């Protein structure tokens, strides 16, 4: 019985701990009336209820940071922020108690509070750091909350924040939308719904399936590496090799819905879907058109070249897509490609790759050019075309003309001058023909 190595077995990774920081506005404006109450009392009540509901979750710690509550607004304290309740499991009672002791009074230093929140999360590689910002006002201290949020996300301090704007200020969406996922809570009922939704997104399981389709739109392609790129950091969050079960269905992959992704299907060339529209807490299906065929490089027998390599480019592109060796077979997306064989001279072909078919390329066996003389000088080798024109191929070594060089069948010319010669008129020109599997020997100056 074959025992798979541990890395190859279907072992689920250890569950990540979620750390959820509530960053709460307690500036003076939070005392403003809101329907039958005021904004602060509503926020107190909603957060207390939320803390109670989260107390029973496993692998979850919550914390509370508050800003604008330590000094009056007239003092313009732009560093008025404090971690009131540090992270801990089952600390709803501590959060509720602290909320009752706070009175709104000061400024709205959102940027500075975000910067300080970076220190609130314990160093832990196996955690999901989440921030929920609840505010009724815009940045009042001249900071740039968008730039700060983005910088901290790129450093992986926390995931994309949730921002809940209380009230109906048209400036909220503009300032907060660039920070993370913005929600407008224009009334108390909406605030409750938004808060519930945010928690659900943060904690519920989200899955995706990727259907790789052929030219006819059928999801039959598989065994391709899928990369889910974090489009904030540019780093890969997940690498999966695509799988179809016996029924032809792709499997369900669990991913973190708090991140923003670009999907890269690593075919040749790659296919990319930008900004995946992932619905948190649900199963998401993404269709990617990735029809593939094969390029088969056939080499029937060993040659004097050794291993021959082909350079593959998309038609019209100057960039090398792949280097493929003879003999081999490689998958490519359907389409037209330019293939350059590194023979001497080089062979260039344009081929079309078709769905599930193999396009074959081969080359004639080379012959050989043999120069037995050991001369010092300067010379070049040319291919003579059917119309009589010539193309430069190769320069002979200056230290010795003695060579045995594999060449494709065809007509050639060598042009050579001895190093000791006293003028250009002493150049020797020899024409010769190369045939497959045969050696052609020439003598210079003969």
CATH of 293-361, one of 2.60.40, 2.20.28, 3.40.50, 3.30.420: 2.60.40
Residue 15: predicted pLDDT: 73
Per-residue pLDDT, 11: 55
Alpha-carbon distance values, 99 to 95, 257, 362 (Å)? 6, 29, 77
Residue 410: burial class (beta carbons within 10 Å; 0-12, 13-18, 19+): middle
Residue 12 has pLDDT above 60, yes or no: no
Measure CA of the first residue to CA of the last residue in the chain; give whole Å. Answer: 72
- Tell me what pLDDT residue 314 has: 98
Q: Pick from 68, 70, 54, 65: which is nearest to 18 by CA?
A: 54
Question: Is the bond leading into 342 cis (omega within 30 degrees of zero)?
Answer: no
Give domain limits for the chain.
17-203, 206-290, 293-361, 367-442
The model's pLDDT over 133-178, given as tens digits with 9 standing for 90+, comes to 999 888 889 889 999 999 999 988 988 898 998 877 777 777 788 8
Structure tokens at 162: 């949730």
Q: 367-442, superfamily in CATH?
A: Transthyretin/hydroxyisourate hydrolase domain (2.60.40.180)
pLDDT reading at 14 higher than 70: no
* The pLDDT of residue 171: 73
CA dihedral of residues 394, 397, 401, 402 (deg, nearest 10): -100
pLDDT at 5: 54
Are 370 and 315 within 8 A, CB to CB? no
Q: Do 367-442 and 17-203 have the same topology in CATH?
A: no
Determine what percent of the chain is predicted with pLDDT higher than 70: 97
pLDDT in tens, 213-227: 999 999 999 999 999
Entry pTM: 0.82
Q: What is the pLDDT of residues 63-121, one digit of tens each?
A: 999 999 999 988 999 999 999 999 999 999 999 999 999 999 999 999 999 999 999 99
Q: Which residues contact 430 (CB under 8 A, 6 or more apart)?
A: 413, 414, 416, 442, 444
What is the rounded average pLDDT of the residues 312-335?
Answer: 97
Complete DSSP assignment for 275-295: S----TTSEEEEEEE--EEEE
Residue 332 pLDDT > 90, yes or no?
A: yes
Which residues fall within 8 angstroms of residue 101, CB to CB, at 6 or more apart?
none
- Strand order across the beta sheet in which 328-333 lies: 328-333, 292-297, 358-361
Chain segment 359-411, per-residue pLDDT in tens: 999 999 999 999 999 999 999 999 999 999 999 999 999 999 999 999 999 99
CATH no. for 17-203: 3.40.50.410
**Which among 164, 150, 156, 158 is positioned nearest to 198, based on CA atoms?**
164
Does domain 206-290 fall under CATH 2.60.40.1120? My reply is yes
pLDDT tens-place string over residues 168-193: 777 777 778 888 888 888 889 999 99
Handedness of CA 259, 260, 265, 268 (dihedral sign): negative
């Amino acid at each position: 019985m074959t025992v798979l190595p541990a890395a190859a077995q279907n072992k689920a990774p250890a569950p990540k701990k979620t750390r959820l920081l509530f960053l709460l506005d307690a500036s003076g404006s939070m005392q403003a009336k809101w329907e039958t109450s005021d904004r602060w009392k509503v926020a107190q009540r909603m957060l207390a209820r939320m803390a109670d509901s989260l107390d029973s979750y496993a692998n979850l710690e919550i914390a509370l940071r508050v800003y604008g509550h330590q000094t009056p607004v007239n003092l313009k304290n732009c560093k008025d922020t404090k971690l009131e309740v540090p992270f801990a499991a089952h600390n709803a009672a501590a959060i509720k108690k602290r909320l009752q002791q706070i009175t709104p009074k000061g400024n709205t230093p959102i940027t500075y509070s975000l910067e300080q929140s970076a220190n609130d999360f314990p160093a832990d590689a196996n955690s999901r750091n989440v921030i929920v910002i609840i505010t009724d006002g815009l940045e009042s201290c001249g900071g740039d909350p968008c730039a700060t949020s983005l910088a901290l996300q790129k450093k992986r301090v926390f995931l994309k924040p949730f921002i809940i704007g209380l009230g109906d200020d048209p400036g909220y969406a503009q300032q907060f939308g660039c920070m993370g996922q913005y929600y407008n809570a224009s009334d108390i009922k909406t605030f409750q719904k938004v808060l519930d939704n945010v928690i659900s997104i943060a904690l519920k399981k989200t899955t995706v399936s990727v259907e790789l389709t052929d030219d006819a739109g059928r999801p039959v392609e598989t065994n391709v590496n899928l990369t889910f790129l974090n489009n904030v950091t540019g780093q890969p969050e997940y690498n999966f090799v695509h799988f179809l079960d016996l029924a032809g269905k792709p499997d369900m992959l669990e991913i973190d819905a708090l991140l923003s992704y670009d999907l890269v299907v690593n075919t040749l060339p790659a296919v990319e879907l930008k900004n995946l529209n992932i619905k948190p807490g649900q199963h998401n299906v993404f269709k990617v058109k990735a029809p593939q065929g094969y390029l088969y490089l056939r080499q029937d027998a060993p040659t004097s070249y050794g291993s021959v390599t082909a350079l593959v480019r998309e038609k019209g592109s100057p960039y090398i897509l792949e280097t493929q060796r003879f003999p081999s077979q490689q998958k490519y997306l359907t389409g037209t490609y330019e293939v350059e064989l590194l023979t001497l001279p080089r062979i260039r072909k344009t081929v079309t790759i078709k769905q599930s078919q193999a396009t074959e390329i081969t080359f004639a066996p080379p012959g050989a050019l043999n120069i037995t003389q050991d001369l010092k000088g300067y010379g070049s080798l040319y291919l003579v075309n059917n119309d009589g024109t010539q193309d430069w191929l190769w320069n002979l070594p200056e230290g010795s003309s003695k060579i045995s060089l594999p060449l494709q069948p065809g007509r050639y010319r060598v042009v050579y001058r001895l190093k000791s010669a006293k003028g250009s008129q002493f150049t020797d020109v020899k024409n010769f023909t190369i045939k497959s599997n045969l050696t052609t020997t020439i003598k210079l100056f003969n």
